[in-house]
């Protein structure tokens, strides 16, 4: 892409070689992002509305805030310089995010918060493979060891929750839906890593979240799902999900994707199950107490997280 185009379009950030050095407050943003997404599972479990309704309103509230930021920063001008290929990739990211929301939120109806949140966080496998094959970002040995330890911790927690739910077939259905959520969100973060090198934060999330919103609305129409909340109390839960998991969590991680590889962000997100499990214990509407397997697996997840994020990025 010609340098003149970049000069005329200041709201698009060109790809840098070497990568842009991460800001000092990157760890703070990542930590806040983990806290934000950790509330997603418990809040979605407390809502009475169908999964697509929850996804639709969390996106609607979030897009309202993002629209204000697009106007304030004038990043919407970046859309004028996007190529058709970049636009298609961004729309694909929105489709993947919509499928992630549908499959993962639905999984909460069939299995425990702990099992669902843990299995949906198996996306590092997708991201590490995709980063190496498509983005040429090969993880270091330490990061691979950390990833393996975190995945082992995930397997331990899943094994401990193997009998949860109303029956084996019901729990298995929830597990498969959560795994589909892991696959789709893994692709979503890979797309984010690629496009965030060329788009500002608000222009990127505005486009992808809007595409996701449209796909969710179409899925609701196709399945005959009412977008009207089942109860008035759900309005507050929708707003909380938009603020915490969507704006602080997803948007914070999308911001970080410009500075670190997707698999590093993915490893950080592995702390989500621990926070979600704690909330599932403390919230009276859920009150799911983790087993010894869950606690032991959580320790392994945190160990792998620490090892993976503290290792050098270079292979």
Residue 309 pLDDT:
60
Q: Model pTM greater than 0.85?
A: no
Which of 160, 168, 166 is closest to 119 using CA atoms? Answer: 160
Q: Using the predicted structure, report yes or no on whether residue 314 has a pLDDT greater than 60.
A: no
How is the chain split into domains, by residue range?
43-310
Residue that is written with structure tokens 């929708």 in the block: 238
pLDDT of residue 4: 39
Residue 172, both tokens:
């298995």
For 294-310, what is each residue's pLDDT tens digit?
Answer: 678 777 877 876 676 66
- Residue labelled with tokens 């129409």: 221
pLDDT bucket at 311, cuts 50 / 70 / 90:
low
Q: pLDDT value at position 62?
A: 93
Q: Which residues contact 303 (CB under 8 A, 6 or more apart)?
A: 146, 149, 150, 153
How do residues 249-291 score in pLDDT, each as one tens digit? Answer: 888 888 888 887 776 777 777 777 777 877 877 777 776 776 7
User: How far is the C-alpha of 195 from the C-alpha of 20, rounded, in Å?
Assistant: 14
Residues 6 or more apart in contact with residue 85 via CB below 8 angstroms: none
- pLDDT(167) > 60: no
Instruction: Give the CA distances from residue 271 to residues 31, 148, 197, 306, in Å, rounded to whole numbers and listed in that order.
Output: 9, 14, 25, 10
User: CA nearest 199: which of 63, 59, 51, 77?
Assistant: 77
Please write the tens of the pLDDT for every residue from 12-27.
333 444 456 778 888 8
Task: Look at residue 277 and give its three-state secondary structure.
Answer: helix
Across residues 150-158, what is the average pLDDT? 74
Q: What is the mean pLDDT of the chain?
A: 80
Residue 243 to residues 30, 54, 107, 208, Cα–Cα distance (Å)? 15, 13, 22, 17
């Amino acid at each position: 892409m010609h340098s003149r185009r970049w000069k005329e379009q200041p709201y698009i950030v060109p790809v840098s070689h070497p990568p842009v050095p991460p800001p000092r407050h990157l760890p703070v943003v990542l930590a806040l992002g983990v806290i934000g997404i950790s509330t997603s599972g418990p809040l979605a479990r407390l809502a009475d509305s169908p999964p697509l309704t929850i996804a639709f309103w969390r996106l609607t509230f979030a897009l309202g805030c993002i629209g204000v930021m697009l106007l304030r920063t004038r990043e919407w001008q970046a859309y004028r310089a996007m190529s058709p290929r970049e636009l298609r990739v961004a729309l694909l990211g929105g489709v993947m995010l919509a499928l992630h929301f549908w499959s993962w939120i639905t999984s909460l109806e069939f299995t425990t918060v702990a099992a669902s949140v843990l299995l949906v966080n198996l996306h590092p496998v997708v991201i590490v493979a995709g980063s190496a094959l498509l983005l040429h970002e090969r993880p270091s040995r330490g990061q691979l060891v950390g990833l393996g330890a975190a995945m082992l911790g995930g397997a331990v927690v899943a094994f401990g929750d193997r009998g949860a739910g109303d029956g084996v077939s019901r729990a298995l259905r929830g597990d498969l839906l959560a795994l589909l959520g892991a696959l789709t969100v893994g692709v979503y973060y890979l797309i984010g890593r690629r496009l965030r090198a060329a788009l500002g934060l608000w222009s990127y999330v505005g486009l992808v979240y809007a595409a996701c919103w449209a796909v969710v609305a179409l899925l609701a129409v196709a399945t005959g799902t009412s977008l009207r909340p089942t109860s008035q109390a759900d309005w507050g839960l929708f707003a909380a999900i938009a603020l915490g998991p969507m704006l602080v969590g997803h948007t914070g991680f999308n911001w970080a994707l410009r500075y670190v590889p997707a698999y590093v962000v993915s490893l950080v997100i592995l702390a989500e199950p621990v926070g979600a499990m704690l909330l599932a214990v403390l919230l009276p509407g859920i009150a799911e107490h983790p087993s010894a397997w869950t606690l032991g697996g959580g320790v392994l997840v945190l160990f792998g997280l620490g090892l993976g994020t503290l290792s050098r990025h270079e292979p």
